[in-house]
Structure 1
Amino acid sequence: MKKILIVDDHVDIRRLVRMTLEFESYEIFEAEDGATALLLAEAVRPDLVLLDVMMPGELDGLDVCCKLKSDPMLLNPRVIMLSARGQAQDCSAGRQAGADAYLVKPFSPLQLIDVIAQQWEHA
């Protein structure tokens, strides 16, 4: 069973994503900030991380993405950045941080499912 870590400071976003994915056979974990996300990632070693860019605390999504991608113990999880920031430089910053995909909020559940499916094809 594939493991997905949802990282977003908004509980409503996490709930929406969880509800979208519950119909699939995924093991789903949630974190509300970057520090918690890194601790949880070390514990569960997710296959995929859905990661908000703007979060409170010392680590934003870009920082978390860099750390996830550079930690050899995590076995290079796929990372999809989720952000309200949709400018070209925002997408570029996500890619430079190591993101495998960048999805702009608001997105539809079908968009999310499609982007996740693409990540499994490239894994």
Structure 2
Amino acid sequence: MLARIILAAVITSVIGFFILPLFFNSGPNEYFLVGWVASTVTVPFTFVVGVISSLIIEHSNNRQQVWVSYLKHIVCSLICVAIFFIYEKLNGGQANDFLIIALIIGFIYTTIFFISDYVTKYFEAMSQKV
């Protein structure tokens, strides 16, 4: 289970690098720069917070529906965004601009992570049947 979730985090990091710049207004020369900057912040949290929270959610999931599990992942993402928002607000930063960007990034990465985890779970179940 841990190996599958780590694989989902790797897939999320790679896909997120290319998908995330599409949601920001940047020039054609800044596409990879946006992906790189966002990835330097989100990839460590994908591996630490995303993997741990996904393990906890999957362990506590007693045959719940898929959308309930997805909502739990979104709630964990919102908790991380709230922590960053409070930190930014306490340090006197522009928290309102930060909140919108963090929500977009959190939603995108959480969705990619959940879908890739679901797909890898499906392939893991298919390989065990064979």
Normalised TM-score (structure 1): 0.26
Q: State the structure with bigger RCO (CA 8 A, min sep 6), 1 or 2.
A: 2
Normalised TM-score (structure 2): 0.25
Greater radius of gyration (CA): 2
More helix per residue: 2
